[in-house]
Chains A and B, each alone.
Chain A
Amino acid sequence: MSALVNALISVLLANNVYLLLLLPAVAAVALAFARGYRLSSRLNMAASGLTFLTALTLFAGQQATDRYFLVDDLNIVFVVLNTFVAFTTSVFSAGYIARELETGHLTQTHLRFYHTLYQALLGAMNLAFVANNIGLMWVAIEVATLTTVLMVGIYRTDRSLEAAWKYFILGSVGIALALFGTILIYMAARPVIGEGLNGMVWTVLISRVADFDPALLNLAFVFLLLGYGTKVGLAPMYAWLPDAHAEGPTPISAILSGSLLNVALYAVLRFKLLMAANSNAIAPGPLMAALGLLSLVFAGFMLYRRSDIKRMFAYSSIEHMGIIAFAFGMGGALANFAGLLHMTMHSLTKSAIFFAVGQIAQAKGTKKIADIRGLTVTHPFLGWGLVVAMAALAGMPPTGVFTSEFLIVSSTIARAPLLALPLVIGLLVAFGALMWRLHGFAFGEPTENVAPVKASSLPLAAHLALVLVAGLYLPQPLVLWFQHVAAMLG
C-alpha cells in the first residue's frame, strides 16, 4: 500500500508542471457545462485550490527543464503566489457572484462563461510562468489578456464595454510590440544558436546570450519593455488599467492587480536576465527603474482626484508596480529581495482591498467615494478590514509592505541618494492620498444604506493576517529562498 502511495507521489512530483496546466484546462471545460450556481462556484474553488496545492509541490519536485517548460527558483515564487491569490479570490468570488445573481446583474449563462474564463485565465497565467519558450510565453500572455478582456466586459453596460474595448486595443498593441521584440530576440539568437526551436528556448538563450549581437538585443529589449510594460501598467502605457479595474467584476479586479500584472512583470524580468548576461548590451536596469519611478510619482498624484473607489485602487496598483519595477531595475541583492517581497505583499494586500471593496460596493450599492462613509460603524468587520488593508497599502508599520518599502528606500539611499528623493516623495504623496481617503471611508458620518454583506470574509482575513505576520516575522526558509532568487536576478 505504502509503495503504491510512494509511487503515486513520485509520479505526481515528476509531472506537477503538466498538472498545473491540465487542472485549469479540465476545470474550464467542465465549468462550461456545469449548471447551477452552487455546483459551479464549488467546482471553481476546488479546481483553484487543487492548482494551488499542485503549485506547492513544485518546491519538492525535481526542477525539470525541457524545450517547452522550465521550473526554477524564480518562477516557483510567482506560480505559488499567483495560484494562492487565484484560490482565495475564487472563494471570495463565490459569495460575490451569488449576490450579483440575486440583484440580477448577471445571469446563469454569464456565470458559466465567467467560471470557464476564470479557469482559462488561471491556466494561461501558469503557462506563462512555466514556459521555457519565449514564443509560448507570449501566446500564454495573449490568452490571459483575452480572457480578462472578456471578463471585464461581462456586465455589458456602456462603461464596462468601453473599458473592455480600451483594454483590448491597448493590450493588443502591447502584446504586438512584445511579439516584435520576441522576433528580434530570435533574430539575434539565430547566427549563434542556429535555426529552429532552440532559438526561442530561454535556457538555451541565456547560456549563449553572451555571443549575441548586442545592438539587436538592445532594440529587442526596448520593444519587450514597452510591450510587456503596457501589461504591467507602467506609466506612459497605463491607460487601460484604471478602466479595466473599475468596470469589471471585483474578483477580476483582484486577479488583475494581484496576479496578471505580475505575469507581465515576470516576462520583463526574464528578458532583463537575458540582457544582463550580455556584457555589451545596454544595462536594462536603468530603463526599468526610470519607468518605475515615473509610474510611482505620477500615480501618487493621480490618487487624489479619483471619485470612484475601484479606480483609485487601480491607480494605487500602478504606483506599486512602479515601486516593484524600480526595485528590480536598481538590482543588487538587497533591492531584488525587497522587490520580490514587495511584489508578494502588494499582491496579497491589493487583492484583500478588492475583496473588501467588492463587498462594500455591494452593501452600499455604489462605488462613489463620496457615498462610502462611516464603515466602521455600519459594517465593523469590513470597515476595520479596510482600515488595516489601506494602512498596509500605504506602507505603515508593522506590515510586510512597510518592510519591503523600507528596504527599497534604504538600499536606494545607500547606492543612489539622488534617486531616493523622487522615490520618497512618490511614496509620501501616495501615503497622504490613502490616509486622507481612509479617514472618510472608515470614520465619516455613516450613510443610511446598511445592507448586510454576503460574501465570505475568510479570504480578506487570511490575506491581512499574512501581510501583518510578514511585517513582524519572515520565516527563515522564505528569506533564504528570496535571497537565493535575488542573487539569481543579479
Chain B
Amino acid sequence: MDPIAFDIAHMFAGGLVLVSFLLLYQDRLYALLNMFAVQALVLALSVSWQAYIQQAPHLYITAVITLIFKGIVIPYALHRIVARLGIHREVEVVVGAVPTMVAGIALVALSMVVMLRVTQHADALAREDLAFALSVVLLGLLMMVTRNNAVSQVVGFMSLENGLILAATGAKGMPLVVEISIGFSVLIALIVVGIFLFRIRERFDSVDVQALDESRGKGR
C-alpha cells in the first residue's frame, strides 16, 4: 500500500482515539455534544478515506450517514433536549477527571497490547485500525460507567459505536457494514426519542440514572 495512504488512515483512526479522550473530561453537556459532533466528523473522514483506498464505494454511504446523522442531527436534537430540560449545568462526574484519564490511558495501552499481539498475521493497516477501534470502544464504555447523566451515557454509547464502525470499515471487504451502520442509527434514534419521552412526560425530576434507581424504592 501507498505509505501516504496508510499514514492518512492511521492519522484519522488515531484522531478518533484522541477525540475520545477529549470526550472523557468534558464536564458541560453542550461542550460534550459539540465534541461528539467533532468525533462524528473525524469518523466520517476516516470512513471516506477507507472507502477511497479500498475502492469500496458503498462505504461512502456509511460516511454520509455518520456525518449527517451523528455529526448534525443527533447533536442538534440533544442540544434541544438539554435546553428544554434545563440541565445544561455541569455534568455530574462520579469519578474525577484525573483518575478517568489515567484509566483511559490504561485501557488504550491494554487494547494496543491485546490487539497487536493477537493480530500478528493480519495486514498492518487492519491491525492498527482494530487496535484503535478497541481503544475507542473501551473509552466509550469507560464514559458510560463514569457518568450518571442519561445524556452523557448516550454520548458514551454513541462513541463506543463509532469505534465499532471504525473496526467494521477497517476490516477490508466486510459485508453488511452499511446495513449495520443503518441499524445502529435506528437504535440511536430510538434512544434519543426515549430520553425525550422520559422528560416530556415529566415523570422524573432528573434524567440521572441514579435518581431513577431511587424511584424504585424497596421493590428490588
Contact = CB atoms under 8 A, between A and B. Distances in A.
A183 B157 contact: no
B219 A311 contact: yes
Contacts of A306: 220
A461 interface: no
A169 B157 contact: yes
Nearest to B203: A158
A384 interface: no
Interface in A203-219: 213, 215-216, 218-219
B198 to A, nearest CB: 6
Contact of A215 (B118, B141, B201, B216): B118
B176 A133 contact: yes
Interface stretch (B3-11, B58-66, B92-100, B187-195): B187-195
A187 B129 CA distance: 12
Contacts of B161: 176
Interface string B60-99: 0000000000000000000000000000000000000000
B171 A187 contact: yes
Contacts of A179: 164, 168, 180
Contacts of A180: 133-134, 137, 163-164, 167
Given A172-B187, A173-B144, A165 B175 contact: no
Contacts of A215: 117-120
A437 B216 CA distance: 23
Given A169-B157, A191-B121, A161 B198 contact: yes
B176 A219 contact: no
Contact of A311 (B130, B197, B220): B220
Given A139-B183, A173-B160, A159 B219 contact: yes
B172 interface: yes
Interface in A120-169: 133, 135-136, 138-139, 142-143, 146, 149-150, 153, 156-159, 161-162, 164-166, 168-169
A136 B176 contact: yes
Contact of B215 (A158, A219, A242): A158
Given A180-B134, A183-B174, A190-B172, A165 B160 contact: no
B173 interface: yes
A142 B182 CA distance: 12
Contact of A186 (B115, B141, B171, B213): B171
A371 interface: no
B114 interface: yes
Given A159-B215, A180-B164, A216-B118, A165 B157 contact: no
Contacts, number: 129
B33 to A, nearest CB: 18
Contact of B216 (A162, A169, A200, A216): A162
A331 interface: no
A219 B215 CA distance: 39
B168 A183 contact: yes
B20 interface: no
Interface residues of A, number: 51
B46 interface: no
Interface in B96-132: 114-115, 117-122, 126, 130
Contacts of A150: 190
B126 A168 contact: no
B171 A197 contact: no
Nearest to B120: A215
Contacts of A200: 174-176
Nearest to B161: A176
B167 A135 contact: no
Nearest to A242: B220
A146 B194 contact: no
Interface in A437-474: none
Nearest to B121: A213
B11 to A, nearest CB: 22
Contact of B183 (A142, A190, A191): A142
A227 to B, nearest CB: 11
A168 B175 contact: no
A165 B176 contact: no
B53 interface: no
A196 interface: yes
Contact of B122 (A164, A194, A216): A216
A311 B168 CA distance: 38
A319 to B, nearest CB: 17
B114 A219 contact: yes
B215 A195 contact: no
A215 B117 CA distance: 8
A161 B118 contact: no
A135 B180 contact: yes
A183 B216 contact: no
A167 to B, nearest CB: 11
B122 A161 contact: no
A221 B153 CA distance: 26
B16 to A, nearest CB: 15
Closest A-B pairs by Cβ, 3 of them = A195-B173, A215-B118, A135-B176
Given A142-B183, A146-B190, 14 more contacts: A133-B175, A143-B183, A156-B201, A159-B216, A162-B215, A162-B216, A172-B191, A176-B160, A180-B137, A183-B164, A213-B122, A215-B117, A307-B220, A308-B220
Interface of B: 114-115, 117-122, 126, 130, 133-134, 137, 141, 144, 150, 153, 157, 160-161, 163-164, 167-168, 171-176, 179-180, 183, 186-187, 190-191, 194, 197-198, 201, 203-204, 209, 212-213, 215-216, 218-220
22 contacts: A135-B179, A142-B183, A146-B187, A157-B203, A158-B215, A165-B150, A168-B194, A172-B157, A173-B144, A176-B161, A179-B180, A180-B137, A184-B130, A187-B122, A215-B117, A215-B119, A216-B119, A216-B122, A219-B115, A219-B118, A307-B219, A311-B220
Interface of A: 133, 135-136, 138-139, 142-143, 146, 149-150, 153, 156-159, 161-162, 164-166, 168-169, 172-173, 176-177, 179-180, 183-184, 186-187, 190-191, 194-197, 199-200, 213, 215-216, 218-219, 242, 246, 306-308, 311
